[in-house]
Amino acid sequence: MMLKETYRLANGNEIPKLGFGTWMIDDQDAAKAVQEAIQVGYRHIDTAQAYKNEAGVGEGIRNSGIAREEIFLTTKLAAEIKDYAGAVAAIDGSLEKLGLDYIDLMIIHSPKPWAEFQSDADHFFEGNLEAWKALEEAYQAGKIRAIGVSNFEQVDLENLLENGTIKPMVNQILAHIGYTPFDVIAFSQQNGILVEAYSPIAHGEMLRSAEITNMAEKYGVSIPQLAIRYLLQLDLLPLPKTLNKAHMVNKADVDFEISSEDMKTLKELKKLDYGKNTDIPVFRRATDQ
């Protein structure tokens, strides 16, 4: 069963191959959602300072009835924090909000503050190195078990690889059928960086695609199942999100194989329209590229 399978990070730590995302889940709903995901069998939970639900996520983990060491928790350093002292304080702030003794993985949420995300004028190289130093020190102190980044392009990764002390272990990016940034995926994987894929169903917009619908019907699976299997066959780690327990179960039931011919077709599908979500920075940038 996919929920029991893991990837191995560069530092040797195991990370479950399928995560449960909590983006846009309110803090008051997060504890219940996380507990239900854990009941279903998920052992990898993903949150962020920006989601403002760390307290609820931590509560869900603490009250799950599952030993802490069996659950892999990721949180993210807010994209706006590009100084060492601010990052140190924010790391401790996350631990306090979560109510946990350690974080399994903490990543820089974006190389640029969200207000600057569309612009290539400044990659905040110095600020990212300051934030990275704070993560490195928290990692060495045992507060964090692994460190990484999110939304980093090749040039942003090169900055840390060339100037940091510890290599990023993860790069969490937008990736799904209809938008698979193969260049940054290849660069990350060549450098021993595991690539995680958020919004694997394209924030639901994939459900409106006739080509993807037909392919899912061919395999007798749901569109989310096809989307998640596609990412797994690229050695990516999908992070689906849902508040529906039946959907949690469905998204984890992906023990089938997409043929190489159909994988080629899916890789070449045209970009999806993100509809009303186009104004979200990560989707707007994907649309512009």
CA distance 144 to 126: 22
Q: Is 117 helix (H, G, I), strand (E, B) or coil?
A: coil
Contact 106, 81 (CB under 8 A): no
Residues in the chain: 289
Kindly provide the residue ranges of all beta strands, DSSP E only, lying in the chain, ordered along the sequence. 6-8, 14-16, 20-21, 44-46, 72-77, 105-108, 147-150, 170-174, 194-198, 237-239
Whether 219 sits among the annotated catalytic residues: the reply is no
In this structure, are strands 6-8 and 14-16 parallel, antiparallel, or unpaired? Answer: antiparallel
- For residue 272, the one-letter residue type is L
- As given in the structure block, the two tokens for residue 250 are 């469905």
Q: Which among 21, 17, 49 has a CA at the least distance from the CA of 201?
A: 21
CA distance 22 to 46: 6
Catalytic residue (one of 7, 42, 51, 230): 51
Active-site positions read 51
